Structure 1
Amino acid sequence: MRGQTTRILNLMASDTKIYEGVFAINKPTSISSAQVLRDLQRHFNPSSLFAPWLEHARAKRTQESRFQRQRRREKGRIQVKLGHGGTLDPLATGVLITGVGSGTKALSRFLECTKSYEAVVLFGAATDTYDTEGKVVARAPYSHVTREAVEAALQKFRGKGMQRPPVFSALRVGGKRLYEYAREGGAIPEIKEREVDVLELELVEWMEPGTHGYKWPEREAEKVEKEAASKLMNMEEVEGISLKTPPPDEQPNTVVSDSPDLKRKREEGSVDETTDDAAKKLKSDTDTNTERTSTAPQPQLADSIPYQLPELASVSTPAPQPQIQPQPPAARLRMTVTSGFYVRSLCHDLGPAVKSLGIMAALVRTRQGDFELRKNVLEYDDLAKGEEVWGEKVKGMLEEWDEKENGGDRRSRSRSREREADIE
């Protein structure tokens, strides 16, 4: 025991710097915030930058009493202590505040600071999660939605107001998901609105139908989920919204069937079967191509040159001209908001405000507190480049944090680490 105490005192009295504090990383899409921390830990644990931190943590662990060891949750190997200051959904990207060691104690302040986002809202549908990760619970017309209409509707969302959090999917009340109450025939618990403050909100890009790659989810919610959603989201009370399937010309990536004239001729028996067979083949080929289409923007063929097969040039009755319908319009919004604001709820609420429905199709947190993309945020891809790349960047950000928080007196703080008991 005496030797172990001497080891701690020698470490505290040395010039070895223990790096800890707060920095930010640019979270990529499709992974959770927790996974980002696990990835950071995987690179930090064997690094030379955090070797002193781990050495001090191991030395301190040996001084714990049996009672302390029994209370400790982490009974395995010691790892660099990390935490984040505000979760980003897997769909979202951008600034993820990260605390290292004693820096985790400062993370709560970032929950209260202002944040800036860029988000894409896609019109014409609603989902249980308010974004494209969920299941479609309703559809509505969207051909009337214009840039001018959206800009006018945004005015009601600026400044202080009340907002209801996303209520249908992840939220549990009394141990149950909300749609389970509807399935059982019971009353659905009320989800209270909360006060939020939108400091800035503007439309920075309008995307006409057929000019973008955003699309509705392919998964449809079950009947009971849709019924619960209509009650929870109050969609049935919104004027101009039909929860039924929209008309064919407002269903993205669909091919219009035979024209009325062709149908009439078929009923009268005056359709040339050669022409009809060729038309069916053309429609079948178009269907196949449509199914293979990626998320790239779909061409709008309404004003294009009509299809004409060489072998049908002499046929008097023209083959039907299939028309690929565009996707619904989308808008890119930029905003600065206070704590507790849900961007997904804004996208969801904006739909009914323009007599349609809306979902969030993309989200980037561009700033949180003093951390801003392309200024003082570590790129996630730098981790794969090795410690010689990410190490200097993280070291610089932690030193900057220490200078701002403690005047840069790292050696003094290192020597008092045992008394402060920062490492747990």
Structure 2
Amino acid sequence: MPKAPPLSLPVSGLFGVVKPSGPTSMSIVHDLQQLVARSKLFVTDEKLEAMKKQKAGKGKKKGRQARVDGVKVGQGGTLDPLADGVLIIGVGKGTKKLGDFLNCTKEYTTTCLLGCETDTYDSEGKRVRVAPWKHVSEDIVREALKAFSGEIMQTPPIFSALKMEGKPLYEYAREGKPLPRPIEARKVTVHALELVEWKGQDHAFRWPEKSFSEEEKKAVEKALKGADENAEIKDEAEPSSAPDEVPIAFVLKMTVSGGTYVRSIVHDLAHAIGSAGHVVTLGRTRQGRFAMHATHEDDYACIPWKTFEEATKDLESGTPGETDADGWAEWERQVMGNLKIVEG
């Protein structure tokens, strides 16, 4: 049921979408923009009528059709293609509130695969280094997690878009240009961090097939040596390990402050237990009051992407989807039931 039924249409507001793993956040926003631009929930009758005339070839205007109505659509914190979960969407005046969600508390679940680290710190990247993993036990991980709780200093990865003297860090790494100075660590807060599932070797995850060439390794090493002369990228073979042996994986759940790199926690934790590791699954389960599953009275539940995907298919095919007696489509009903209205 709608938390705050709109008294007058159209409205501006915020709602949450359950982004699937695969598409980019911007592709999700683009598809939603097509729906929003044609909904009486967010667009005036006059603008909807103007769009119908445009579609019929009357009064054509230059520019993208999705912008005819002038309704802005944005998101409150990008999720990479690998990641799934809570993606907050702002419409109209709601876009002005999206910045509030960049630094709010967030919850994640992530799966770490040991024995290999990658340039992106996740399974989308290339293998940079391999290291022993057989010595790692569930107790060793639980003990190591204690050092990653509370206020911690976290160093962003060199393969990130953060800039140093106007140049993205990843460009230093790719070009083999020494960093002018060490990457500045930032203070973040890990409110809660726990091991929720020990998969051991019973899983289907594998290291990425692509790996860094010796040339690429030397380039990264040279970049890092600009800030740390002892920096070294070196494989450490697992003693008596079969090539097709499945490495250990485990699942973490964490509640963190804005600006925390989940991938860095996994990367640094793997180092702390004498191994290497990278993220193979990553899900954002809560961002502020928007959650995968509403557990508090003032929570807003997120809407499965499949609901919007089906509406988008209807739009692309030119076939009107089913509506209720009041003319609302299923996606509009679900949005109204979980919409935080933004006034003024």
TM-score range, shorter chain: 0.7 to 0.9
How far, CA to CA, are the matches of 1:356 and 1:185 in structure 2? 25
Matches within 5 A, 1:385-404: 385-386=310-311, 388-398=329-339, 401-402=340-341
Q: Deviations over 1:238-278 (max 9, x none)?
A: 9xx9822624843552xxxxxxxxxxxxxxxxxxxxxxxxx
How far apart are residue 216 of structure 1 and its match?
1.1
How far apart are residue 170 of structure 1 and its match?
4.0
Residue matched to 1:377: 302
How far apart are residue 111 of structure 1 and its match?
1.1
Asked whether 1:335 is paired with 2:327, we answer no
Residue matched to 2:281: 362
Residue matched to 1:48: 40
Q: Secondary structure of 2:156's match?
A: coil
Q: Secondary structure of 1:104's match?
A: helix
Equivalent position amino acid for 1:117 in 2 = Y
Asked whether 1:17 is paired with 2:9, we answer yes
How far apart are residue 228 of structure 1 and its match?
4.2
More strand by share: 2
Distance change (3 Å), C-alpha of 1:379 and 1:244: same
How far apart are residue 106 of structure 1 and its match?
0.8
How far, CA to CA, are the matches of 1:232 and 1:36 in structure 2? 36
Residue matched to 2:315: none
Equivalent position amino acid for 1:166 in 2 = P
Q: Is the 8 A contact 2:122 2:279 kept in 1?
A: yes
Q: Is the 8 A contact 2:131 2:238 kept in 1?
A: no
How far apart are residue 161 of structure 1 and its match?
1.2
Equivalences, count: 302
Equivalent position amino acid for 1:149 in 2 = I
Residue matched to 1:270: none
Residue matched to 1:100: 91
Q: Is the 8 A contact 1:139 1:242 kept in 2?
A: no
Residue matched to 2:184: 192
Residue matched to 2:317: none
How far apart are residue 18 of structure 1 and its match?
1.1
Q: Is the 8 A contact 2:20 2:85 kept in 1?
A: yes
Q: Is the 8 A contact 1:118 1:335 kept in 2?
A: yes
Asked whether 1:87 is paired with 2:113, we answer no
Matches within 5 A, 1:200-215: 200-209=192-201, 211-215=202-206
Q: In the alignment, which of 182, 186, 207 is matched to residue 216 of structure 1?
A: 207
How far apart are residue 43 of structure 1 and its match?
2.0
Q: Deviations over 1:279-300 (max 9, x none)?
A: xxxxxxxxxxxxxxxxxxxxxx
Q: Secondary structure of 1:51's match?
A: coil
Matches within 5 A, 1:222-237: 222-230=213-221, 232=224
How far apart are residue 129 of structure 1 and its match?
0.7
Residue matched to 2:324: none
Distance change (3 Å), C-alpha of 1:235 and 1:385: farther
Residue matched to 1:313: none
How far apart are residue 341 of structure 1 and its match?
0.4
Q: Is the 8 A contact 1:128 1:229 kept in 2?
A: no
Q: Is the 8 A contact 1:81 1:100 kept in 2?
A: yes
Q: Is the 8 A contact 1:168 1:229 kept in 2?
A: no
How far, CA to CA, are the matches of 1:156 and 1:54 in structure 2? 59
Q: Is the 8 A contact 2:175 2:219 kept in 1?
A: no
Q: Is the 8 A contact 1:114 1:338 kept in 2?
A: yes
Give the number of the structure whose alpha-carbon radius of gyration is greater.
1
**Which structure 1 residue ranges, 5 or more long, are not aligned?**
1-14, 60-71, 254-324, 407-412, 414-424
More helix by share: 1
How far apart are residue 187 of structure 1 and its match?
2.3
Q: Is the 8 A contact 1:179 1:228 kept in 2?
A: no
Distance change (3 Å), C-alpha of 1:58 and 1:193: farther
Matches within 5 A, 1:20-31: 20-31=12-23
How far apart are residue 176 of structure 1 and its match?
4.5
How far, CA to CA, are the matches of 2:247 and 2:208 in structure 1? 13
Equivalent position amino acid for 1:331 in 2 = F
Q: Tell me how large the CA RMSD over aligned residues is.
A: 3.2
Equivalent position amino acid for 1:112 in 2 = N
Matches within 5 A, 1:113-124: 113-124=104-115
How far apart are residue 377 of structure 1 and its match?
0.6
Q: Secondary structure of 1:200's match?
A: strand
What fraction of aligned residue pairs are identical, expressed as a percent? 42
TM-score normalised by structure 1 residue count = 0.64
Q: Deviations over 1:63-99 (max 9, x none)?
A: xxxxxxxxx9999633531111111111100001111
How far, CA to CA, are the matches of 1:32 and 1:91 in structure 2? 9
How far apart are residue 173 of structure 1 and its match?
3.7
Q: Deviations over 1:135-185 (max 9, x none)?
A: 111111111111111111101000001001122254454564546546766
Residue matched to 1:345: 264
Equivalent position amino acid for 2:337 in 1 = G
Q: Is the 8 A contact 1:160 1:198 kept in 2?
A: yes
Matches within 5 A, 1:207-356: 207-209=199-201, 211-230=202-221, 232=224, 243-244=234-235, 246-247=237-238, 249-250=240-241, 253=244, 325=245, 327-356=246-275
How far, CA to CA, are the matches of 1:153 and 1:235 in structure 2? 25
Distance change (3 Å), C-alpha of 1:220 and 1:29: same
